[in-house]
Amino acid sequence: MPDCIFCKIIAGEIPCNKVYEDEHVVAFHDIQPQAPVHVLFVPKKHMVSLQAMEAGDEVLLGHMMKVVAQQAQALGVSQGYRLVSNCGASAGQSVDLLHFHLLAGRNLQWPPG
């Protein structure tokens, strides 16, 4: 998508503080962190949200969850973190590309807001 900021990051058009990349997913630090550790995990396949999943996408999402767990370990936060994906504007989704926020490094309150 030409106007998608995450697609531009994936394409290397916008720099980021990348922590991980493979053929399916890229992970980078959020530029407006909400916790001491705030990393975004973005699939390279453009899909708006979980609601836009197609047949076969569960393989990609399973891979993403494995990458999240591996990166939580690498970041030193595997003992406690929150993983969030907002679906739709009313839930706080501001970029129309599925992504997961890994938040850690402080006590996270519940309910989240």
Catalytic machinery residues:
99
Cα–Cα distance list, 32 to 10, 28, 51, 96 (Å): 18, 12, 25, 17
Which residues does 9 contact at the CB level (< 8 Å), separation at least 6?
A: 15, 16, 26, 28, 42
Which residues does 10 contact at the CB level (< 8 Å), separation at least 6?
A: 26, 42, 44
Q: Which three-class secondary structure state does DSSP give residue 94?
A: coil
* DSSP β-bridge partners for residue 100: 41
Q: Do 9 and 61 touch, CB atoms closer than 8 A? A: no
